């Protein structure tokens, strides 16, 4: 990473307006109306847009994906983490590339499938025990 990037603010605020109610406007409309857009590394006015430096956001997302991967592991969930991969071979989740929505759906689908299997086993057990009596 360059010295410039290392010393740049991790977050900045595009300061669009200090007028109450402008936060409900369309950005391009404000610019067309002559609003001057500036930036600062601190929140200063009521109508501004916060930005996070891309490398900071990437690092935070990668750290959270790794924590999610680690916390997902159990006797039931077989995790594969060699060679940079972060997969659950039970839910078929790729923690490196699946979107949050995909991860949520795969976890939900696995839980529903497990509940259906458990319910079917309970029904079979009930049938077996009633046939013995």
pLDDT at 129 over 80: no
The dihedrals phi and psi of 11, each to the nearest 5 degrees, come to: -135, 140
The CA-based angle 7-12-14, given to 5 degrees, is: 140
Report H helices in 18-99.
27-32, 54-72
Distance separating alpha carbons of residues 43 and 70, to the nearest angstrom: 35
pLDDT at 21 over 90: no
| Model pLDDT, residue 4 | 93
pLDDT at 30 over 80: no
At 20, is the pLDDT very low, low, confident or very high (cuts 50, 70, 90)?
confident
* 88-113 per-position pLDDT tens digit: 999 999 999 999 999 999 999 999 99
| Model pLDDT, residue 133 | 60
Instruction: Tally the C-alpha atoms within 13 A of residue 132's C-alpha that lie toward its C-beta.
Output: 6
Distance separating alpha carbons of residues 26 and 133, to the nearest angstrom: 73
pLDDT at 58 over 90: yes
Mean pLDDT of 68-96: 92
Please state, for a pLDDT cut of 70, what percent of the chain lies above it.
96
């Amino acid at each position: 990473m360059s010295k410039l990037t290392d010393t740049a603010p991790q977050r900045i605020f595009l300061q669009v307006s200090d007028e109450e109610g402008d936060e409900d406007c369309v950005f391009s409309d404000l610019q067309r109306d002559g609003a001057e857009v500036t930036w600062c590394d601190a929140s200063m006015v009521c109508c501004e847009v916060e930005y996070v430096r891309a490398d900071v956001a990437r690092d935070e997302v990668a750290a959270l994906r790794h924590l999610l991967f680690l916390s997902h592991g159990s006797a039931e969930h077989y995790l594969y983490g060699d060679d940079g991969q972060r997969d659950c071979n039970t839910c078929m989740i790729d923690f490196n590339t699946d979107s949050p929505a995909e991860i949520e759906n795969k976890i939900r689908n696995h839980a529903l499938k497990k509940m259906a299997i458990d319910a079917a086993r309970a029904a079979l057990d009930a049938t077996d025990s009633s046939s013995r009596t």
